[in-house]
C-alpha cells in the first residue's frame, strides 16, 4: 500500500515539475493591453500584446473591434516605431481614435495567425480553438 501511495505521489510530483508538454509548447498570449484604457475621440492609443511562442508559429497578430468587425487592426513586431525590437514577440500598434468615434464600451479581439494566413490553433478545455484574447476598450464623450 505504501508503495502505491509513494508511486502516485511521485507521478504527481513529476507532472507538477515538468508540466504539461502540450500546454507549454503551444503559443500563448501572455499580456494584452490598451493604454490608456479610457480614450476620447482624437486620443492616441497603444495596443500591445506579448506572445509566448517558442517555435515561431505566430507570424501575424490582428485585432478586430467586435462591435464593428469592419475595423481591423494589424499589429507589428518589426522593430519600427512604436515597436522597440523586431521579432521579440511583443506586437504593438499605435492608433488614433477617430473624431467621429461613438462613445461606449467595446471589445478588441486579438487573434494570432500563421505564415500561411490561418489562425494559430491551441488546445483548451473546449477543444482546439484559435489563439485569441479580448481586451476591453472604453471611449468617453469628448
Among 92, 126, 130, smallest CA distance to 111 is for 130
Domains and CATH numbers, the chain: 27-139 (2.60.40.10)
Q: In this predicted model, what pLDDT tens digit does every residue of 48-75 receive, in sequence order?
A: 999 999 999 999 999 999 999 999 999 9
Q: Report residue 16 as a C-alpha cell.
A: 507538477
| Calpha distance 16→142 (Å, rounded) | 51
Phi, psi of 21 (to 5 degrees): -60, -40
State the CB neighbour count (10 A cutoff) for residue 73: 14
Q: Are strands 38-39 and 132-139 parallel, antiparallel or unpaired?
A: parallel
Looking at residue 32, what is its pLDDT?
97
Looking at residue 8, what is its pLDDT?
52
Amino acid at each position: 500500500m505504501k508503495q502505491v501511495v509513494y508511486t502516485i505521489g511521485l507521478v504527481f510530483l513529476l507532472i507538477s515539475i515538468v508540466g504539461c508538454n502540450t500546454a507549454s509548447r503551444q503559443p500563448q498570449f501572455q499580456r494584452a493591453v490598451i493604454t490608456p484604457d479610457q480614450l476620447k475621440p482624437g486620443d492616441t492609443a497603444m495596443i500591445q500584446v506579448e506572445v509566448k511562442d517558442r517555435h515561431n508559429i505566430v507570424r501575424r497578430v490582428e485585432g478586430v473591434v467586435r462591435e464593428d468587425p469592419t475595423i481591423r487592426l494589424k499589429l507589428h513586431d518589426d522593430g519600427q516605431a512604436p515597436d522597440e525590437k523586431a521579432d521579440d514577440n511583443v506586437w504593438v500598434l499605435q492608433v488614433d481614435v477617430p473624431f467621429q468615434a461613438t462613445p461606449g464600451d467595446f471589445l478588441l479581439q486579438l487573434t494570432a495567425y500563421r505564415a500561411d494566413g490561418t489562425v494559430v490553433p491551441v488546445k483548451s478545455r473546449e477543444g482546439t480553438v484559435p489563439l485569441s484574447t479580448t481586451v476591453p476598450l472604453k471611449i468617453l464623450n469628448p
